[in-house]
Amino acid sequence: MRILLAGGGEGAALIAARLIREGNQVTIIEQDEARCQELEEHLDAKIVHGNAGSIRTLRKAGLADAEMFIAETNSDEVNLLSCMIAQAKSSAKVKLVRIRTHEFGQWEHVLSQMGLHVDRIIHPETSIMRRIMRVLHLPGVSDIIDFADGEIKLFSMNVDRNSWFAHKTVEELDAAAPPKDSLIAMIFRGPQVIIPHGAQRLEPGDHIYICTTRANLEAVFEFMGIQAQRSVRRVVIVGGHQLGIWVAQELERSGVSVKLIERDAQRCELISNILDKALVIHGDGTNQQTLEEENIVGADAFLALTRDDADNIVASLLARRLGAHKIVALINRLNYLPIVQRLGINTAISQRLTAVDMILRYARKGRVLSVTTFREEEAEAIELIAAKGSSIIDRKLRDIRFPHGAIVGAIKRPNGYVCVPRGNVAVHEGDQVIFFTLERAVPELESAFLDTPGRRKGAA
């Protein structure tokens, strides 16, 4: 696919690298000349120096021939303007626009009224806020991700030395009578990513992902020894930019007592006028004395949401030592994510990786509903719809040769039935199928779901 990407910042570069790795032809427009040189050195992409809001620059970059247009500059105004130009001057089938303003929902309505077709407004902060809210009351759970309209849940947790299931195999856990419809889908062990089989043993230090249904989630928590807090009453947030403010507002609406710590005095004044009840503190969230003075000890949750990864890691480690129950850190450098887990930070979330996931859905073959990337892009959960002529239709899972490193995690049928299947279950036309897979297996997996009318019946 020919993809034109407006913007060459760190987030855009991550998007471009992934799209290039998947065989797409990418052209990047970037206004900063020094940044253009950096991109040329690190990416196998055509780099065009210029303003993405300029018709001339967009034409020079090949707008007329682009099949997908992504507006990912640091300016909402430029992103919207470039999308308007793309609508008028190109036949791109897919247009995606990054918007950072808190008014992004209103912009969806405005664009619709203007007749400007945009397939997706990319606003990762919304998704991240929801993920934070899902795990605040669960100290032992790192993340909860929804699939199939929330009917399928994927949650992650650490295997501790004292966990009752440490050193047990997957088969031994199955023999312990776990709740119906549950599956250990992925194991992260140091640099390794493991799609487990029955003889796979869980080791202390592993970070595991478990798939189950909405109906069985609480029972699986209980089986794994996870206890929810009765309520979240007191939360401390470090970082007063959009994400921190959004989370604080959501917590205020839930009746939670919030303290927000921000270094910039002027920004503190701005935040004070936005938030209703939260206490806004002018201070350094990476300073232990500040955290002690603000009584971090015993806080139900501590959220490090600044724009600096190092600050978020330092603040989180201090909060952990001071006794905060649940710790969440915003981390954008992907190579930091495995380290953060080993340091004992409960939940690490990446704004940039979330944006990549939103875009990959539109760049993939077949009917892809969602893509969720894990850690350093080594593994994925991918939600697909089984097409009428695909090679896997109406065959039992045990009879299908899936790519090595891929398993079916869950199925939702058109009638609403959901399950975490075993080998005797078949995939039917129209089923939503959630796979857990190593990244290298994705192309083969997607091809199996395509409509292939000429394929020999019964071929794997």
Q: Are 220 and 178 in contact (CB under 8 A)?
A: yes
Both tokens of residue 334? 């992907």
Residue with tokens 């509903």: 369
Assign domain 354-449 to a CATH class.
alpha beta
Q: How many other C-beta atoms lie within 10 A of the C-beta of residue 208? A: 22
Fold entry, domain 2-122? Rossmann fold (3.40.50)
**pLDDT greater than 60 at residue 460:** no
Q: What is the pTM of this model?
A: 0.88
Dihedral, CA of residue 449, residue 452, residue 457 and residue 460, to nearest 10: -40
Indicate the pLDDT class of residue 458, thresholds 50, 70 and 90.
very low
Percentage of the residues of the chain whose pLDDT score is greater than 70: 97
Pick the CATH number of 234-348 from 3.40.50.2000, 3.40.50.720, 3.10.20.740, 3.40.190.10: 3.40.50.720
pLDDT band at 451 (very low <50, low <70, confident <90, very high): low
**Contacts of 269 by beta carbon, 8 Å cutoff, 6+ apart:** none
Q: How far apart are CA 141 and CA 163, in angstroms?
A: 13
pLDDT digits 0-9 by tens, 364-374: 876 889 999 99
pLDDT of residue 453: 45
pLDDT of residue 456: 36
Query: What's the Cα-to-Cα distance from 303 to each of 117, 133, 198, 284, rounded to whole Å?
Result: 36, 11, 37, 14
Task: Grade residue 68 by pLDDT with cuts at 50, 70 and 90.
Answer: very high
Structural tokens at position 43 = 């990416």
- Partners of 434 in the β-ladder: 383, 410
| Range 290-294 average pLDDT | 93
Provide Rg for the chain, Cα atoms.
23
- Is 457 a residue whose pLDDT tops 60? no
Determine what percent of the chain is predicted with pLDDT higher than 90: 76
| CATH class of the domain whose range is 129-224 | alpha beta
For 241-252, the pLDDT digits (tens) are 999 999 999 999
The token duo for 121 is 């407004």
Q: What is the mean pLDDT of residues 429-454?
A: 80
- Does residue 229 carry a pLDDT above 80? no
Burial class (CB in 10 A: 0-12, 13-18, 19+), 192: exposed
**10 Å Cβ neighbour count for 273?**
7
**In 3D, which of 290, 348, 282 has the Cα closest to residue 322?**
290
Residues of the chain with CATH 3.30.70.1450: 129-224, 354-449
Report CA 145 to chain centroid distance, whole Å: 8
| Residue-wise pLDDT tens digits, 296-309 | 988 999 999 999 99
Helix axes 10-21, 351-363, angle to 10 degrees: 40
How far apart are alpha carbons 363 and 358 in whole angstroms? 10
pLDDT 10s digits, 116-143: 889 999 999 999 999 999 999 998 899 9
- In Å, what is the CA distance from 345 to each residue of 40, 235, 302, 305? 35, 16, 10, 13
Which alpha helices (H) appear in 278-423, and where do they start and end?
Answer: 288-293, 309-322, 337-342, 351-363
pLDDT recorded at residue 164: 96
CB 347 within 8 A of CB 328: yes
Dihedral angle, C-alpha 312, 289, 136, 227, nearest 10 °: 120
Helix (H, G, I), strand (E, B) or coil at 209: strand
CB 307 within 8 A of CB 241: yes
User: If 0-12 CB within 10 Å is exposed, 13-18 middle and 19+ buried, where does residue 88 land?
Assistant: exposed
**455 pLDDT more than 60:** no
Taking only the tens place, the pLDDT of each residue in 69-94 is: 999 999 999 999 999 999 999 989 99
Average pLDDT over residues 254-282: 96
CATH 3.40.50.720 in the chain, residue ranges = 2-122, 234-348
Quote the pLDDT of residue 450. 63
Q: Which of 21-25, 221-225, 281-285 has the weakest average pLDDT?
A: 21-25
Give which of 149, 211, 200, 204 is closest to 172, Cα–Cα.
200
pLDDT digits (tens, 9 = 90+) for 348-392: 999 999 999 999 989 887 688 999 999 888 899 999 998 887 888
Residue 440's pLDDT is 86
Q: What is the pLDDT of residue 193?
A: 93
Q: 181's torsion region: left (phi>0), alpha (psi -120 to 50) or beta?
A: left
